[in-house]
Amino acid sequence: MKKLGLIFILTISLSGCLASLPGKQGTRIDEVPMYGGMDRSQYPTLKAGDEKFISDVSAQFGSRESASIVWVDQGYKFYHQDQLGMAMRRFNQAWLLNPNNAEVYAGFGAVLMDQGKSCEAMQMMEKSLTLSPPEYQGIYADAARIVTLCAVSDKDLTSDGRTRLLARSEELYKKAEKVEINKKYVYDSWAMSRYLLGRYDDAWSMLAKARKIGGETPKSFLDLLQAKMPKPTQ
| 221 inside domain | no
Q: How confident is the model at residue 108 (pLDDT cuts 50, 70, 90)?
A: very high
| 202 inside domain | no
CA angle 105, 173, 188 (to 5 degrees): 95
| 190 inside domain | no
What distances in angstroms separate CA 197 from CA 99, 105, 170, 194, one per listed residue? Answer: 34, 26, 12, 5
- Tens of pLDDT, residues 199-215: 999 999 999 999 999 87
Please tell me the pTM assigned to this model. 0.86
- Could you please report the per-residue DSSP string of 52-97? HHHHHHHHHHSSHHHHHHHHHHHHHHHHHTT-HHHHHHHHHHHHHH
Q: In the chain, how many domains are there?
A: 1
Please classify residue 59 by burial: count the beta carbons closer than 10 Å to its beta carbon, then call 0-12 exposed, 13-18 middle and 19+ buried: exposed
| 188 inside domain | no
| 150 inside domain | no
| 91 inside domain | yes
| 23 inside domain | no
Q: What is the dihedral of CA 9, 15, 18, 21, to 10 degrees?
A: 130
Please classify residue 207 by burial: count the beta carbons closer than 10 Å to its beta carbon, then call 0-12 exposed, 13-18 middle and 19+ buried: buried
Give the lowest-confidence range in 107-111, 122-126, 191-195, 218-222: 218-222
- Number of Cβ within 10 Å of residue 205's Cβ equals 16
CB 218 within 8 Å of CB 184: no
Q: Which range marks the domain in which residue 92 is found?
A: 45-99
d(CA 101, CA 221): 32
- Tens of pLDDT, residues 28-62: 899 999 999 999 999 999 999 999 999 999 999 99
pLDDT of residue 215: 74
Give the lowest-confidence range in 12-16, 151-155, 192-196: 12-16
| 151 inside domain | no
Average pLDDT over residues 73-79: 98
